[in-house]
Structures are given as C-alpha cells and as structure tokens.
Structure 1
Amino acid sequence: MAGTVEARMQEKGIELPQVAAPQGAYLPYVISGNLVFMAGQLPMLNGEIQVKGKLGDDVSLEDGQKAARLCGLNLIAQLRQALGGDLDRVERVVKLTGFVNAVPDYAGQPKVVNGVSDLMAEVFGDAGAHARAAVGAGSLPFGVAVEVEGIFEIK
C-alpha cells in the first residue's frame, strides 16, 4: 500500500525518475541523526541531462524552472531510496540550495529556484515549507542550467 506522500504524488501525476548515480567521488546522501543531507542533483531524466546552458543567455526562465523542478524530482527519488522507499518518514524539508548557471548580471535566481520550492510544497504539503538559498553560478557540472541540494528532517 502506498503511503500518504506516494498517494499525493500519484494523485497529482508526479512521477519520480530513476535514481542517478553519483557523478564523482561522493555519497549521494548522508544520514546524520534525524537529518538527511542530499548531494546536489542535476536536471537529469533517467540518466540523461535535460537542460544545459545559462539563464539570461540561452535558457529561458520557464526552462530554468523546469530544470529546478527536475532537480527536485531527483532529490525526492534519491531521498526515497535513502529511506528504504518510505517518504512518509519525511518530517520536513529543512533547507534547499539552488545553484543557477547564469550570466554575470542575471538576477532571477529566486524565480528559477521556485521550480523546486513549489514541487516540495506539492509533494510534502506543509512539511515542504523550507529555508532556501538561490545562488548564481558562473558554471555548473556538465554545463547544466541548475543544481539543487537539500537537507531533510526524518522520523
């Protein structure tokens, strides 16, 4: 039987991608006490990067938001694996940090990162409300448009 979070995702038509393998020498997550620290996730769908480029140049705000949302879907997929498949163990999304590959004078990072923030509210309800940073970056791994990392409190 699907848990409450899984049922909410199913009701909203939210499907999680396959869990991506780490792209370097690091762990995809670390559980310390009642916190899960998630490594940065890229806008990948089943092993393929979906959105490359720079905001303010060749990536639109809408595509940046879609990239951030996809990073969030990958965070949730990785989190589900970390929790043995039980997303109902999530007490709260504590903090998200979104990195936006952008031209130097781009100032729309908060709007881009709303793509992942909105997803967390959809999936986790009130527990999806979180602290956040939206940071501009001169470049990101593999030329992706967005990367997002997160900290989650668990039962």
Structure 2
Amino acid sequence: MSIDAKLAELGLTLPEAPAPAANYVPYVIAGDMVYVSGQISADENGLITGTLGDDLDVAAGQAAARRCALSLIAQLKAACGGDLSRLVRVVKLGAFVNSTAEFTEQPQVVNGASDLIVELLGDAGRHARSAVSSPSLPMGVAVEIDAVFQIK
C-alpha cells in the first residue's frame, strides 16, 4: 500500500510543506539522503505550544509530535518531487521536547512521531532517534523534530 493510501486509510492528510522561518532551507538532498530541517508542532489551528510537565501532559505532547511527523513526511514529499514511493527508509529522528527540568518522559512524547511513522511505513519507518529536553523552543512550541531519510 502506498504512503498516500495509508494516510487516507488513517484519515490523515499531509500539511503543505512549511516554509523556513529564517535563513535556512527546509531540506537538503545529499546523494541518496534527505536531511529535513526541524519541523515544529503545528496543526490546522496554528502552533501547538506549551511545556511538558507544566501545562501539557504526555498525551498532548504525543499529539504534537505526531503533527511534527506529518510535516516531516510533507517535506520529504516535496524533496521527492511529490513521489513518496522514492522513500527507502527513515534513518533517524532528532526530537526536542519543551519540558520542565523535572519532566523525564521525553521518549514517551516522541513515541507519538515514531509510532505514526512506523504505522505509515512499516519496517521502512523503523529508525534511530534521540529525544531530549529543551527549556524552550522557537515560538513556544511543544515539540520540534528533524529527520534523515534515505531515498532512491
């Protein structure tokens, strides 16, 4: 099943690939690798802001991470000229979670992105990853995730 068909089956749609907010590009293709810049948590209502361990719980953080994953896939689609069948595998996610010093469940938050990617892509979606705490993120967002993909 294609990625687009799987998205439709899950009732999900990719957002438009977000434009960069500063002096950088949304992705770089080097050989068969696509490096996608950090995607911040946002949905159709705007930015998903807040701090895990303060005004957001793990479930809210997971929802924010899922939205980051959709933006990563949208950037990948743009990098592949609209053809997601070029994806070979997800190599790595690097995730930053806006959280208090006492909050230690960053991996559970980032599972929101990882679980969605594996649900969409199966074994090709299994990836290495980091999930770290950050005392703040751009514009107060809850989560930011970057990614490395291998394409053909």
Q: Does 1:134 align with 2:125?
A: no
CA 106–112 in structure 1, closer or farther in 2 if over 3 Å, else same = same
Amino acid of the structure 2 residue aligned with 1:94: V
The alignment partner of 1:134 has SS state of: strand
1:51-66 correspondence to structure 2 within 5 Å: 51-66=48-63
1:12 Cα deviation after fit: 1.9
| Distance across 2 between alignment mates of 1:46 and 1:33 | 33
Q: Does 1:32 align with 2:40?
A: no
Identify the residue that residue 72 of structure 1 maps to in structure 2.
69
Identify the residue that residue 148 of structure 1 maps to in structure 2.
145
Q: Does 1:106 align with 2:103?
A: yes
Instruction: State the TM-score, normalized to the length of structure 2.
Output: 0.96
The alignment covers a number of residue pairs equal to 152
Using the aligned pairs only, state the percent identity.
51
Gaps of 5+ in 2: none
1:145 Cα deviation after fit: 0.5
Q: Does 1:22 align with 2:20?
A: yes
1:66 Cα deviation after fit: 0.3
Amino acid of the structure 2 residue aligned with 1:29: Y
Gaps of 5+ in 1: none
Amino acid of the structure 2 residue aligned with 1:21: A
Contact 1:40–1:149 under 8 Å retained in 2: yes
Instruction: State the TM-score, normalized to the length of structure 1.
Output: 0.94
Q: Does 1:116 align with 2:100?
A: no
1:48 Cα deviation after fit: 2.2
Q: Where does structure 1 differ by over 6 angstroms across 4 or more consecutive aligned residues?
A: none
1:53 Cα deviation after fit: 1.2
